[in-house]
Amino acid sequence: MAKSRVRLGKSDLLVSRLCLGGNVFGRSADEESSFAVLDAYYAAGGNFVDTANIYASGRSEEIVGRWLAARKPAGVVIATKVGLHVAEHALSRQEIRKEVEGSLRRLGIETIDLYYAHKDDPDIPLEETMTAFGELVAEGKVRYLAGSNYSADRLAQALEVSRALGVPEFVGLQPHYNLMERTEYEGALADLCAREQLGVMPYYALAQGFLTGKYRKGVRVESSHAEAALRYLDPVGEAVLSALDQISAQRKVAPAAVALAWLAGQKAVVAPIASARTVSQLSDLIPMMELELADAEMEQLLLVSSQRVSA
């Protein structure tokens, strides 16, 4: 069943409102499970898959590539990243050109739809990085470029450098942003993205799984993310879960879908990124693609989570 598409920034990429994260593929989800999740996501109308050259040491890209070859899905937008694979010079021209070839080979495609700088590299001049990215676009290896983990100042500089050089600029940003982590994105960075019409795809959209509602006092959860998620289980976190429970009961969807729908309604956000190890987990996320929260519901979640922002 086809879902509505949203335009990613100034690009011509039309993507589903939920971006499927591939960080679990080849790590906590084996290939069979990963294929099942990808199949279910595509069948539900999803078309936006996010991976990276470092996820599971490249196995995530390989699994996505084998799925693309086996299923030949129409209209799927593939995003991957470069820039966390080495400690030094990660965004140098040499490293970018080497790594893009590896990603293309593992994915089994000729062109990457969206190629991210995974993390800012202050040791490499932006002129070198953006020129190298521009070469990939000119050569047809990449369609569009985006940044991840950039500050407002550095993102603005990257856009300015691209324009001065006359090379392709970032059309999107992938920041750390969710109901429990708002300070990094909200403010100058969100304002810049809105002003520059950048599409925003937040990662850790469910706060390491905390916003699924499975982490509660007295409940033991076996997960590699448990320690990170449990740090949110304080009075503010409990208030956020309570609000999610209330809205999800009224809407007859899982708390995770409500949390993602809230995020999708924020400034410049195009598609939150969330991953699933199983089809069952994915089924809790899918409803967000059509879920529009009322203003009162958006405000309720904003208010309870604001206690963490102001703390």
Catalytic machinery residues: 55
Report the residue count for the chain. 311
Q: Are 225 and 277 in contact, with CB atoms under 8 Å apart?
A: no
